[in-house]
């Protein structure tokens, strides 16, 4: 298949490109700079520009691009950047796809479990409503921007992603170096739930969304979320390092500002629809996921 991908240089996008190529598919990478390879096509999410001709002939489009949520302190300007990079890009792609005479059969649009807000210890699946705050409101706008594709009859799936366990990039890309130095520890009191997913399983789940028939929101998280305290213990066991240094909540708030509330928040999110569709996780447990990374 010919499959267009945004965010193809990121942690998840680059892994997806490798997986698709290994199976003989032809990824088309949408990039914001001038194309430097035959498989690259330029687009401009800031200006909401996506050339429909570049998407012609694609059977699937996977949209993963957006400014990193945890890359910078959440100033008003950076929150706007996070919002606009996702919403404007999604709107541009959805409009371009809807305009095609022969549109792709599926549009997999990135989203996040941030949609649900802080769920505490409550098991939460795709039937739950949106929470309140910056991230839930972002996710509502993000998913809503795909409406033109849905209205055009394109099967549209929203991949609500959890915390991806990977050697580099994402939350674990920051955790691994600290734990290797023996500086790892729980965050706050460690009772908050983390809904994780191994990178291998995340890519496999995206492939499952491309090949299957799911539409609407789909949680991309492992079957059993664990507490931050359990994550800390698993990291210590796998890396053979002590984990004696808890990070006080007040220190996180001083370092991260508003984003600390989401780091300390709890999300016990369950992939109900993914499991019901027959998807099998290779690394369902936190220790297996950490060892794989």
DSSP string, 38-100: TTEEE-BTTTTB--HHHHTT-SEEEE-----TTSS---HHHHHHHHHHHHHHHHHHHHHHHT-
- Residue 271 near residue 220, CB atoms below 8 Å: yes
- At residue 99's C-alpha, the angle toward residues 146 and 15, to 5°, is 55
Short-list 78, 137, 147, CA closest to 112: 137
Measured between alpha carbons, how far apart are the two ends of the chain, in Å? 28
pLDDT of the residue at 260:
66
Which residue shows structure tokens 């190529």?
21
Sign, CA dihedral 261-262-268-269, equals positive
pLDDT of the residue at 71:
73
pTM (predicted TM-score): 0.94
- Residue 138 near residue 110, CB atoms below 8 Å: no
pLDDT of the residue at 255:
57
Q: Flag residues of the chain having pLDDT under 70.
A: 251-252, 254-260, 263
pLDDT of the residue at 50:
82
Cα 261 to Cα 41, 45, 113, 254: the distances in Å are 38, 29, 15, 11
Residues 6+ apart with CB under 8 A from 14: 8
Short-list 36, 49, 48, 51, CA closest to 4: 51
pLDDT of the residue at 248:
76
Tokens of 229: 């305290």
pLDDT of the residue at 246:
87
- Residue 32 near residue 6, CB atoms below 8 Å: no
pLDDT of the residue at 251:
67
CB count in 10 Å sphere of residue 92: 23
Residues 6+ apart with CB under 8 A from 143: 109, 111, 115, 158, 217
Which residue shows structure tokens 């290994």?
22
- Residue 158 near residue 220, CB atoms below 8 Å: no
- For 90-147, how does the pLDDT look when each residue is reduced to its tens digit (9 = 90+)? 999 999 999 999 999 999 999 999 999 999 999 999 999 999 999 999 999 999 999 9
Question: What HEC string does 113-140 produce?
Answer: HHHHCCCCCCEECCCCCCCCCHHHHHHH
Q: In what order do the strands lie in the sheet with 106-112?
A: 40-42, 26-31, 2-6, 60-63, 106-112, 155-161, 216-220
Report DSSP state, residue 187: B
């Amino acid at each position: 298949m010919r499959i267009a991908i945004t965010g193809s240089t990121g942690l998840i996008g680059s892994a997806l490109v490798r997986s698709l190529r290994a199976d003989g598919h032809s990824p088309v990478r949408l990039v914001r700079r001038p194309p430097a390879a035959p498989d690259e096509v330029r687009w401009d999410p800031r200006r909401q520009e996506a050339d429909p001709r570049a998407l012609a002939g694609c059977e699937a489009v996977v949209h993963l691009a957006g400014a990193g949520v945890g890359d910078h302190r959440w100033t008003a300007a950076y929150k706007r950047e996070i919002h606009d990079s996702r919403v404007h890009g999604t709107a541009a792609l959805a409009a371009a796809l809807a305009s095609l005479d022969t549109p792709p059969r599926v549009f997999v649009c990135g989203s996040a479990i941030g949609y649900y807000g802080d769920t505490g210890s409550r098991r939460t699946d795709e039937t739950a409503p949106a929470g309140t705050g910056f991230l839930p409101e972002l996710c509502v706008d993000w998913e809503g921007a795909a409406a033109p594709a849905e209205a055009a009859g394109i099967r549209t799936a929203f991949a609500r992603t959890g915390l991806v366990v990977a050697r580099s990039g994402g939350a674990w890309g920051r955790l691994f170096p600290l734990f290797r130095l023996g500086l790892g520890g729980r965050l706050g009191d460690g009772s908050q739930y983390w809904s994780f997913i191994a990178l291998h399983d995340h890519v496999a789940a995206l492939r499952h969304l491309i090949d299957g028939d799911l539409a609407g929101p789909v949680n991309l998280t492992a079957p059993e979320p664990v507490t931050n305290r359990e994550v800390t213990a698993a990291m210590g066991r796998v890396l053979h390092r002590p984990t004696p240094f808890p990070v006080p909540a007040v220190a996180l708030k001083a370092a991260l500002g508003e984003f600390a509330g989401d780091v300390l928040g709890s999300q016990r999110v369950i992939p109900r629809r993914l499991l019901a569709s027959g998807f099998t996780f290779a690394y369902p447990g936190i220790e297996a996921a950490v060892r794989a990374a």
